[in-house]
Amino acid sequence: MKITIIFPGRNLETAKATASVMPLAPCLLAALTPDEHEVSLVDMFFGDQVDYESDVDVAAITVRTPLAPIAYGIAGNFLQRGKKVVLGGPHVFAFPEEAKRHASAVAIGESEELWPQILKDIKENDLKQFYVCGPYAVQNLRGTVHHIAQRPSLEKPAMMRRDLLPRGRYMMDSIFTTRGCPNHCRFCPVTDIFGARIRHRPIGQVVAEICSLGPRYYNFDDSVFGHPQIADRPEENRYYLDLYGELARVRPKRQWVGAGGLSALDYKDGRRILELAAESGLCSIAAGLESISAEGQKQSGAWRKLHYTSPDSFDLRKMTQNVRTIQSLGIEVWGFFVVGWDDDTAETYRRTLDFCDECGITPFIFTLTPMPGSQVYQEYLEQGRIFSDRPWDRYGTGSVVYRHPTMSEQEMFERNAEVMIEGYSAGRILKRAMQAFRNRPSLDVAMTSLFTQLGLRKAYRQLYQQEQKSCAA
């Protein structure tokens, strides 16, 4: 069969400004496709167009919440042409019945076990309506179901098919080494999707794959520093010590970026893990700091991720200290914050930017978007606080999609736009790029920091201008 795997995108994607990263999901899905099939990839995120007139038999489409309308439109076009359409992705996890209205079949969970089975069933004309991998309740799914109760092992992962995309257009390759997240943040569905237990890829396979990559890559793990708070699993720390020890010896050395928690420094071996990560080429970290207040940490559930014993023990000075320690190792910190918890005020936006300025953090300050599949979304939905008239493409775009107890929708939008535009003033950008150079005297790292921030400056100005026009219309 001929199969096309589509990663939907839209005209304005702010994530492109941080770095052009080769998408992980479609390349992995292509690698899981048996050799008997012919497969092609479409990355709309970077301008590829969908060819509806092609002679493909199957279209597989990733559905992310802000892009659900686009994904459903693509699916409808293929269905009208008599093609099989399979939908998967995080939005499908939250709304499988909705997705089924636009597809021949829906895949819920990880793809290693599901995708080959789906293709086998299509070939044998025995396609089920739902394919589920993981310990999820399936009794409420209306239709035929193929269910694998266990999440897949990562002992023998497929090597991603990077050859199916023009690698020259991406600044970074992509990779993953683990799956799972024990943090249970209330605004994030990742723990429910991938499970709380961390699963690791074999170190030798990871090192071999990285040796095949270009000069830069992005690690899509939930935390590239691991989760050293898991006291009953000493192998968790050992994995990262061994992995980064091996990667620090790889030549030529690659620069890389990933997401990670600052609080690894507070645990046994944590600082050594960070030191080895920096030696292996880690130059920037996306840190989910989430809130500068104890109440915000409590309402978001992020205090668990930051490894405080309780939200009341949150200490902003400790967060500041950890940020500066990580920066001193030559690792630039991109700080992600959510504003809009019930105790937040308009002034919280300003105080969060002030904190970023004080610490030299590249700011990512966003109004809360209760994402489908998260605890917060379900709670706000039951409380009648979700704006029911907002289509999915308003999620994750700067738009406000819920009712705050004290701030108006307009006030939240305006304060958010104000701090994100001000946060990327020319003076701030230059100051942060110079700081990156002082901490790691590399012209390449400093220029990457500078031009990434300039790209973000342009992207966020466009985003908030576009959103303002949409709201006015």
Claim to verify: residue 87 and residue 223 sit in the same structural domain: no
Instruction: Tell me whether residue 154 is in a domain.
Output: no
Is it the case that residue 267 has pLDDT exceeding 80? no
Does 309 have pLDDT greater than 80? no
- Please report whether residue 165 resides in a domain: no
Mean pLDDT of the chain: 91
- The residue range of the domain holding 431 is 172-472
Q: What percent of the chain has pLDDT over 90?
A: 73
pLDDT, tens digit, 9 for 90 and up, residues 1-54: 999 999 998 765 555 555 688 999 999 999 999 999 999 999 998 889 999 999
Based on the domain organization, do 261 and 144 belong to the same domain?
A: no
Indicate the number of domains in the chain: 2
Residues 352 and 401 in one domain: yes
pLDDT tens string 351-402: 999 999 999 999 999 999 999 989 999 999 999 999 999 999 989 778 899 9
SS (H, E, C) the chain: CEEEEEECCCCCCCHHHHCCECCHHHHHHHHCCCCCCEEEEEEHHHCCCCCCCCCCCEEEEECCHHHHHHHHHHHHHHHHCCCEEEEECHHHHHCHHHHHCCCCEEEEECHHHHHHHHHHHHHCCCCCCEEEECCCCCCCCCCCEEEECCCCCCCCCCCCCHHHCCHHHCCEEEECCEECCCCCCCCCCHHHHHCCCCEECCHHHHHHHHHCCCCEEEECCCCCCCCCCCCCCCHHHHHHHHHHHHHCCCCCCCEEEEECCHHHHHCCCHHHHHHHHHHCCEEEEEEEEECCCHHHHHHHCCCCCCCCCCHHHCCHHHHHHHHHHHHHCCCEEEEEEEECCCCCCHHHHHHHHHHHHHHCCEEEEEECCCCCCCHHHHHHHHCCCECCCCCHHHCCCCCCCECCCCCCHHHHHHHHHHHHHHCCCHHHHHHHHHHHHHHCCCHHHHHHHHHHHHHHHHHHHHHHHHHHHHHHC
pLDDT for 263: 79
Structural domain contains residue 292: yes
Mean pLDDT of 317-344: 95
Average pLDDT over residues 108-119: 96
Which of 155-159, 170-174, 262-266, 318-322 comes out lowest in average pLDDT? Answer: 262-266
* Pair (253, 141) in one structural domain: no
279 and 181 both lie in a single domain: yes
Mean pLDDT of 205-209: 95
180-190: average pLDDT:
87
Q: What pTM, to 2 d.p., does this model score?
A: 0.92
